[in-house]
Chains A and B, each alone.
Chain A
Amino acid sequence: MQLEYIGLKGITGPLIILEGISGVAYDELVEIQVDGCDMRLGKVVEISEEHTIVQVFEGTQNLSLDNTKTRFLGHPLELPLSKEILGRVFDGVGRPKDNLGDVYPHVRWDINGKPINPVSRKYPRNYINTGISSIDGLTTLIRGQKLPIFSGNGLPHDALTEQIVRQAKLPSENESNFAIVFAAMGVSYEVAETFKNSFEQSGVMQKVVMFVNLSNDPTTERIITPRCALTAAEYMAYELEMHVLVILTDMSAYCEALRELSSSRGEIPSRKGFPGYMYSDLTSIYERAGMVKEKNGSITQIPILTMPSDDITHPIPDLTGYITEGQIVLDRNLHQKGIYPPINILPSLSRLVKDGTGKGITREDHGACARQLFASYSKVQEVRSLSSVIGEDELNNIDKLYMEFGRSFEKEFVSQGIDEDRTMEQTLNTGWKILGILPKEELDRIDTKILDKYYPDK
């Protein structure tokens, strides 16, 4: 029997404290009724024989020490799942938000998920063609990968993500067995709507599941949102064997919610007030990407985070970068030069690129071409800083070529239209065309055979 407890012992921030309760499990789901009508959800975050601490997802506004009835539901937060979730919109804790009624569940899964046994994982090898040169050519996205976009406020990360969603396809297979899970955490109404419109326009809305926690929704709800989204993704990947692309935006808002919660619990902070367990907490989200041997489905994650003051060493991007398999970094200078997408390729990286590209998959010269573009563009930065001191006219001839290479690279390779869908061939050929600006001797990262075959004749 489920007991109801009337009243509370204390309230701090999003936490409520109860006393004299027995038979409550760690992480258990809690229903709190306020003033006999307003129903809120929470979970047990700390228990001892003396007291029980519950985190209320919707916040503790209007709660008093005696106007609540608390009920412990005997299980952790579970998400009702069935095929019908496709095309639906849910709130941050997985309740329908689109007035289409409840989901009749096929199963209910614990939103916390479980770690995947590394023995059972399947190493990601299939690349996803996004039609964006700087991603396909240099930081290739692989199915089953977690590849975040590190952005800043005001940069076009949303437009880029929408373009990826519109254009993403697998070159090897011709299947429609894909789905998109979109989780919004603390984003503005406009951002969420733009995404929704973009899904509708490209006709994929029936393949999308949305979990939306807007910036004016309760902060603590955000802790739950990505977990609901990933549970839905796991259901589709491992039960329905679909290929799922999960977009999580904005992870910075998630981390800030985590910090808020931690500080109201009086925990010892580590860097910039973020809790010491933030790494472990983030891995419990990011590591849910991947593929397993027994199933055909896959989960690919594109988390988006805005770097506070564009600082890549801030704990949020820093810890994310340590967990994810690479990162795509957007750059304000490029954006201000009018380059879209403003991807700064130097700090960008895809760790799985070596196994998902090359001979037989993309083209034999892919690795060499990419390596050389990276190396030469990195040299461009040195030359630019020199030219800002002595002026471009004073540069020697080779350095002048590097300046030209840098400009063409940004203008022709990185920059492309918001609807421009390039093939891998186009991307690599453009790469070689630009490398052709430099004399052959400068291309020192390429095997002679490949160089002779692909270096453009003048």
Chain B
Amino acid sequence: MKSINIADQPWLSMRRTISITVDGIRYRLFRASVTVAVIVVAVAFLMNILAESLIKRSVASNTRERIDTSRVIYNWSAKLSSPGSQESIIIEVANCSPDSDLYRETQRFAAMNDEDMAAFQTHAQKIVFIFDFFNSLDYAKRRAMIHTASGLEILNRLRSPENMEQFKLALSRIRSVHFDMSYDELDAVLAKGPEIRKQIGTIITARRKAIAVINKTLKGKTVLEKLATADGPFGDTIRQAGFIFDADQTAPLVADQAQRLLDILALEESMEERPTRQLIAQQANILPADVNVMMMWKYLDGKRFATRYLEKMQEAGITTEGLAPERLVDLAQGRKENAALLRAERLTLDAGKGVLGLGERLGWLLFVSMLVCGIGITNAMMMAVTERFNEIATLKCLGALDGFIMIMFVLESCFMGIVGGIIGAILGGVIGLGRMLAAFGVNFLGAIPIGDIIVGMLMSVLLGTILAAVAAVLPSFKAARLAPMEAMRVE
């Protein structure tokens, strides 16, 4: 027989390696599926939390936007009735963006050039920062620093040196509180106090004048009633008085919302009349004395009831001009939507903090669950290696390289990671979606960030796979180092 020159053993092709690995998994499907289940649970947990926080964050910004829009009427009716306080103007200016109507309007009232206005805003932001700092303190700490001062009084108080000393002393003693502004900067803000006060005074005076112009045109009507025609001549009046009131967008929106508010007020008032009250009592099967506004809105959601309600209103002698059953239903639904918005706002208060919108505690929980999953996979792979001692040793007798054995086990774990990751990501995503839909209702469907969720799913699958691969390294190493003579052992 020929003599063989010893050479290096070649590497097995990846295709063959994968096919051997897959055959091995198929043969031990039950064990593999238990391991996969561990990965599924971990990845589903991750994906669920991720999906919920993504949806929450998106719903939160959507809600804020919608609520802001729905409150335009309140802003305008307030603005046309009162010039506002010094503090409210500072906060307004600090928070508005330089290309907004409010910014330009304030600039006009203050009669400032662009540069001064920008400086004014920067200053207002610093003052708001100081306000926020003191507002975040509890009563005892706040009292120790600035006694009972609030609002602009704080700045006045701090301008006296001894009060400033008190503040600094208190700040140095209370270690849990950090004031992220240098004392120099604080002094600069305080030094500018009188100037700011003067500027705000100018704004308030200008506003008061503008409001006086508006008041002349009211002729016994309320501002709200007048605002219902804001898309008409009243809008021009507002503009002439010096306000910046956009005719194309803001005006129709304000007019519509004003009319809505008027209608709602009219309806809620009408409920006090005998015939209408009796109708609601009849519908709810209770005494007329127990009827409340909530019930009226609940029943007005149906068109048949709305029609009958309108009839009863006429019976009671209330003018129903401009009110149709459809309008009533629409108003009732608008109220419902508003309630949903408020609920969503409350539910999403905690959204958007920390990495990916996860809080510190959730992040920690996720980390621990991933760790537990990793240990579970390691354990399962250890068991698999022990169970396959004979097989591994035999393969080595047949000429398998250590690297092949290593790759075989890591691959096996990776496959389970991919399968478990995909199932887990889908499961977690669906559960998260379902839970969020149940919490916020279907009218937030448009706010669901599908793209972000898909990216999150891919990330979860990737993470599951990496986790499985890393967890398999140690058992695979153990398998690769197994002595081939183990094959001789008789079981």
Verify that A and B bind, or say they do not.
no
Interface residues, chain B, CB within 8 Å of chain A? Answer: none
**Chain A residues within 8 Å of B, Cβ to Cβ:** none
